[in-house]
Structure 1
């Protein structure tokens, strides 16, 4: 965990030089929140500031317990949140849970709220991609899969479709994010409904793997089993289940993001 957190979010005018830039929607992991994620991403934000504006969204579901290592640095930065449903109260929790479609609706509203609030700060750039860590990484890949499916059916997305995703320590499987196509029952705790349509994700993805991460094999599964070969980029670093924050680890990631942004036509060459 980064030992030097930022004291808080910047004021509305602090990022004026980025207001016109294309935007990258950023999704925190389970058991944390947008404020914490923004602090953890401050070095990446600085590297990308000439090219992209990062927008941080809060997940819709409150969690009583924070994610791994959050308390050691960010104990006073709650409330903590998760994306794919409420946190079970206990291992044997059998309480009522939202349905698959309700989870999708809650996630979409959280993302839309983050963009609306950023619009209110004066941002005007299109939302061109999504970046996520851990549970947010799984969701980033899942949202890009939904964008791909919508393109295939000619539906598009009125929000301005994602062109690429940055998947940081995201685990397989990709989650079904299309309302009405999953189970009508409760969503699986913390997991959603796995997408099993037989399609591979073909829109560009950048995968970030910590080589000491206990979940590394599941992160590699998402890369190799769920994404089409030739559409992915891999950035590996010598870390565990956390975000890289040293410049030597962040620079290669920022370079790949800019390179992919140029290849898909959302950044100038």
Structure 2
């Protein structure tokens, strides 16, 4: 089942002109829940406007969502990760994801440039995939529809997802396929060189897949790895959040992001 609209959840109304980061939630969550999970990141990124998009597909709540957020449904996903998720063809899957994101962007009241992506879990996989699509479209066509300068990947696991003919390859999972359990051994020809910040919880049961994502699909010259003593969740404590935000500011400045005075 899909939704026809998605409601953006802006960080506040007094940051309309700040550079914007599009935030993509994990599987079985919502934009509202991700905003609550990311409250410490929002607090420590005052020069950005963080905008949270809802995934297009309804599903059961993800791991750890109940009981804290059990009343925040219906819960959503961007991709299939379980075999029981309804089958969908690749073109429709791409269309639904793009529509949800574009609707969120169009409905946001801000007017600052879209400078980055930030995703958690499945949203991190999507963030990396969208950033790579931007890169390969520029390489093949000389232009892309977006101009993101960086992405922040919180617990993003391999592989990246193919969203165009340019990325149809055994190293990339199809957008309509079940993404969990996907394995590609060997060197991927699809390597993201736009800057990325990878945040890995050392007690996360999916850590080996997060490390595989970093190693196979991201250029070490443009990737930053931050590890913290946590599980599969968004960091909240100041000691864990500050290094992430410091890196976001560093990368943003290096990429020429302009902040509102």
TM-score range, shorter chain: 0.7 to 0.9
In 2, distance between residues paired with 1:128 and 1:243? 21
- The aligned counterpart of 1:154 is 141
Structure 1: segments with no counterpart, 5+ residues: 1-8
1:23-70 Cα offsets, whole Å, 9 max, x none, are 000000001010000011111111112x2110100000000x211010
The corresponding residue for 2:61 is: 66
Cα contact 1:176–1:194 (8 A) shared by 2 = no
Match of 1:110 among 100, 120, 134: 100
Residues 77 and 30 of structure 1: CA distance in aligned 2, closer, same or farther (over 3 Å): same
Q: Is the 8 A contact 2:162 2:175 kept in 1?
A: no
**TM-score, normalised by the number of residues in structure 2:** 0.86
Contact 1:175–1:191 (8 Å) recurs in 2: no
1:175 is matched with which residue? 161
- The aligned residue for residue 232 of structure 1 is 223
Q: Deviations over 1:92-133 (max 9, x none)?
A: x7x6x2111211111111111111111xx3x11011111100
State the partner residue of 2:177. Answer: 188
3-state SS of the aligned residue for 1:16?
coil
CA distance in 2, matches of 1:179, 1:115: 24
Tell me by how many angstroms 1:154 deviates: 2.8
1:54 aligned residue: 50
Runs (4+) off by over 6 Å:
9-12, 192-197
Deviation at 1:229, TM superposition (A): 1.6
Name the count of aligned residue pairs. 248
The whole-number CA distance in structure 1 between the counterparts of 2:183 and 2:22 is 22
1:6 corresponds to which residue?
Answer: none
Which residue of 1 is the match for residue 19 of structure 2?
22
Cα distance in 2, alignment partners of residues 127 and 10 from structure 1: 14
Task: Say whether the 8 Å CA contact 2:25–2:121 is kept in structure 1.
Answer: yes
Which of 42, 67, 73 aligns to 1:45? It is 42
In 1, are the aligned partners of 2:135 and 2:194 still within 8 Å (CA)? yes
Q: 2:76 aligns with which of 70, 75, 81?
A: 81
1:183-262 pair list within 5 angstroms = 187-190=176-179, 198-262=189-253
* SS of aligned partner of 1:56: strand
RMSD between superposed Cα atoms in Å: 2.7
Conserved 8 A contact 1:101-1:180 = no
